[in-house]
Chain A
Amino acid sequence: MEQSLNYQPGLPEPAAAKTSGIKRYLTLLLRSRTATFGFIVIVALLLIAVFQSQFATHDPTAQSIRVRLTPPAWMEGGDPQYLLGTDQLGRDIFSRLIYGIRISLLVGVAGVAISCLIGSTLGLIAGYFGGWVDTVIMRLVDVFLAFPFLLLAITFSVTLGSSLRNIIIVLGITGWASYARLVRGQTLSIREQEYIQASFTIGSNDFHNIVRHILPNLVTPIIIYSSLEIGVYIIAEASLTFLGMGVPPSIATWGNMLATGRDYLSNAWWLATFPGIAIVITVLAFNFVGDWLRDVLDPKTTYDI
């Protein structure tokens, strides 16, 4: 796009400015293989989560001791009825994986949303206004970050009791500190830019500056960080559940499955492996899409469409 610097008046606008909206994003999405993969995975997960009863072959909680620890269908001793085998209580792993999607996505997305909301707001206030507000908020952040995450999460979940709603709240309030730190740093560097001062000279106030100049420039780091955090939260839910502090064991979640599968790793590897793979793929998908979003949302990246 170098030639656009010497763009002469009167010539038509380059095509890049004309194609806009959904079509433009779709073209850009298809251009990146990783993003396409991530996008397809996320859409598929969402669809499966919505229509979970159509996809599941069994009731995820139906136990049948007779068929316990059946290996996956393609292995010796496998039963084609149980595609990915069964667990120690004879529950169908494939169906449990399907039913776990909702929980994992919900925990990931909602947990990140809560953290992001609390952390970004506090970080923005700390970075923009500075002074004692900044000192108070950032010392609080230090306290939160100094605690090991799991210890903090366990403390909260023991106090609040374990339920799906509570685990989302627990993850939200333990994870905000790193958001606050990220956003504060970015805000500090943005607010010292001359365009913020220019904005004051044309008559804007703090609120206008934050909404029109600081927030739009914070979107990129927040999105990238969130796409990574969604993965972390899915794993965190798994770890908490693994430790028995998360979602009640009666609900099928990937974390739950991973936790119980650990005891059978030596003789029934499929119990822990499939939920593990599911987590890896989901986390990767979010990272890929986040990576792509960063490029697309940056006006400095130019594309020829």
Chain B
Amino acid sequence: MNPDQPILQVKNLAKYFPIRKGIILQRTSGYVHAVDDISFDMRRGETLGLVGESGCGKSTAGRTIIQLYRPTSGNVIFEGTDLTGVSGSALRQTRRKIQMIFQDPYASLDPRMTVGQIIAEPMLIHHTHQGEQAKRRVQELLDMVGLATNYANRYPHEFSGGQRQRIGIARALALDPSLIICDEPISALDVSIQAQVVNLLEDLQRRMNLTYLFIAHDLSMVRHISNRVAVMYLGHIVELAARDELYENPLHPYTQALLSAVPIPDPKVRGKRQRIILEGDVPSPIHPPSGCPFRTRCRLAKDICAQVRPENREIRPEHYAACHLV
């Protein structure tokens, strides 16, 4: 496979959830525009951070990419195969190489299965390892994520949040994936544990040449782990750039406001910074604003913003933003 070819191409992906009313005769009274026309590429071995505030659709984007939700429109092309076109066992085969790490380490492990059974499950489903072989592989994976190999006979409730998240990571690694979608993998953990899990993820990435789509709302953590960062607002990607470029030169007014909210430890520097405080609430994704999704809260909004939806343009090399005013 051509190493320069993107491992994942997301093209005009959209996911609308219908709102149903009525008990027996259900009719659709509207749609929640959770993800609306997002496009981006991912390169092999990189970490793409996907940030945005709660409810902006970043988790839905991740779940739509892995086809937990079937997209309303658009394409997800993974290693040359369009996942939106396949289903059933063909889909299960294709997405073996895409795995997911979940936000809640308590809800994402079946309480009635032992750790060994949880980690071995993907191998048994795909018949990659069996019997003794699977047992050895489980121990290898436990070792890889920094857990004792004799934990295999324990149940998930015997572990702490950080340990459970490691179990979830081991399960995601069981099929030798090339892309892992990390859906806020650290936001449910103690701050002291977050760094450990992030270091583990980085370590595994180096060893196994993994590609991460890292979904988070913690801007400093995303800055730490990502090569490139995409900013989402109300189902749209409003800005996408290399990490340092984005954090130092944010172009979109929303990104600027978001970054100005990151705490700065040094009071002297903090004093100099201009804090942009956004007014109002995020508009309802059921009735998104016309034109630019951010115009209702943008301090720079002009007439054109309400009329024309801004396209993502390459404003500087490899730096895309969707705004009429930059």
Residues of A that sit less than 8 Å from B by CB: 1, 4-5, 7-10, 13, 17, 135, 193-195, 197-205, 208, 212-213, 216-217, 299-300, 302
Interface residues of B in 210-237 (CB under 8 A from A): none
- Chain A residues within 8 Å of B121, by CB: 199, 202, 204, 212
B132 at the interface (CB under 8 A from A): no
* Contact A195 B148, beta carbon cutoff 8 Å: no
* Contact B66 A217, beta carbon cutoff 8 Å: no
B190 at the interface (CB under 8 A from A): no
- Chain B residues within 8 Å of A7, by CB: 148, 151
A1 to B157, CA, bound (A): 11
* Contact A203 B110, beta carbon cutoff 8 Å: no
Partner of A202, one of B63, B122, B147, B158: B122
* Contact B96 A203, beta carbon cutoff 8 Å: yes
In the assembled complex, how far is the CB of residue B168 from the closest CB belonging to chain A, in whole angstroms?
Answer: 7
* Contact B111 A299, beta carbon cutoff 8 Å: yes
B95 at the interface (CB under 8 A from A): yes
* Contact A5 B102, beta carbon cutoff 8 Å: no
B24 at the interface (CB under 8 A from A): yes
- Chain B residues within 8 Å of A198, by CB: 100, 102, 108-109, 168, 171
* Contact A194 B104, beta carbon cutoff 8 Å: yes
Q: A10-B148, A300-B155 are in contact. Are A195 and B110 (CB under 8 A)?
A: yes
Chain B, interface size category, equals 35 or more
In the assembled complex, how far is the CB of residue A193 from the closest CB belonging to chain B, in whole angstroms?
Answer: 5
Which among A201, A216, A300 has the highest number of chain B CB atoms within 10 Å?
Answer: A201
A198 to B171, CA, bound (A): 9
* Contact B157 A300, beta carbon cutoff 8 Å: yes
* Contact A201 B159, beta carbon cutoff 8 Å: no
- Chain A residues within 8 Å of B150, by CB: 9, 13
A278 to B104, CA, bound (A): 50
In the assembled complex, how far is the CB of residue B59 from the closest CB belonging to chain A, in whole angstroms?
Answer: 11
- Chain A residues within 8 Å of B149, by CB: 9
Q: A7-B148, A198-B102, A198-B168 are in contact. Are A203 and B155 (CB under 8 A)?
A: no
In the assembled complex, how far is the CB of residue A199 from the closest CB belonging to chain B, in whole angstroms?
Answer: 7
Interface residues of B in 162-179 (CB under 8 A from A): 163, 168, 171, 174-175
Q: Which residue of chain B has its CB nearest to the CB of A300?
A: B157
- Chain B residues within 8 Å of A194, by CB: 102-104, 107-108
* Contact B92 A205, beta carbon cutoff 8 Å: yes
8 tightest Cβ-Cβ pairs between the two chains A and B: A9-B148, A202-B122, A194-B108, A194-B107, A203-B92, A299-B155, A216-B112, A201-B100
> Scoring B residues 117 to 131 as 1 if CB is less than 8 Å from chain A, else 0, what string do you get?
000011001100000
* Contact A202 B160, beta carbon cutoff 8 Å: no
- Chain A residues within 8 Å of B89, by CB: 205
A299 to B147, CA, bound (A): 21
* Contact B112 A197, beta carbon cutoff 8 Å: no
A36 to B185, CA, bound (A): 46
* Contact A299 B68, beta carbon cutoff 8 Å: no
Q: Which residue of chain A has its CB nearest to the CB of B118?
A: A195
A200 to B98, CA, bound (A): 12
- Chain B residues within 8 Å of A201, by CB: 66, 68, 95, 98-100
- Chain B residues within 8 Å of A135, by CB: 23-24
A188 to B174, CA, bound (A): 28
- Chain B residues within 8 Å of A204, by CB: 92, 121, 125
Partner of B125, one of A1, A13, A202, A217: A202
A8 to B149, CA, bound (A): 11
- Chain A residues within 8 Å of B24, by CB: 135
A216 to B163, CA, bound (A): 24
* Contact A203 B126, beta carbon cutoff 8 Å: yes
Q: Which residue of chain B has its CB nearest to the CB of A299?
A: B155
- Chain B residues within 8 Å of A17, by CB: 153-154
* Contact A203 B109, beta carbon cutoff 8 Å: no
A203 to B126, CA, bound (A): 7
* Contact A5 B158, beta carbon cutoff 8 Å: yes
- Chain A residues within 8 Å of B99, by CB: 201-202
* Contact A193 B96, beta carbon cutoff 8 Å: no
In the assembled complex, how far is the CB of residue B243 from the closest CB belonging to chain A, in whole angstroms?
Answer: 27
What are 20 A-B interface contacts by the 8 Å CB criterion? A4-B158, A9-B150, A13-B150, A193-B108, A194-B103, A195-B110, A198-B108, A199-B110, A199-B121, A202-B174, A203-B93, A203-B96, A203-B175, A204-B125, A205-B92, A212-B121, A213-B110, A213-B112, A299-B111, A299-B112
* Contact A300 B148, beta carbon cutoff 8 Å: no
A199 to B121, CA, bound (A): 8
Q: Which residue of chain A has its CB nearest to the CB of B106?
A: A194
Q: Which residue of chain B has its CB nearest to the CB of A219?
A: B112
Partner of A197, one of B68, B92, B157: B68
* Contact A203 B95, beta carbon cutoff 8 Å: yes
Q: Which residue of chain A has its CB nearest to the CB of B100?
A: A201
Q: Which residue of chain B has its CB nearest to the CB of A8?
A: B148
A193 to B66, CA, bound (A): 17
Q: Which residue of chain A has its CB nearest to the CB of B66?
A: A201
Q: Which residue of chain B has its CB nearest to the CB of A197?
A: B68
- Chain A residues within 8 Å of B23, by CB: 135
Q: A205-B92, A217-B111 are in contact. Are A13 and B104 (CB under 8 A)?
A: no
A116 to B97, CA, bound (A): 40
- Chain A residues within 8 Å of B159, by CB: 5
Q: Which residue of chain B has its CB nearest to the CB of A1?
A: B158
In the assembled complex, how far is the CB of residue B24 from the closest CB belonging to chain A, in whole angstroms?
Answer: 6
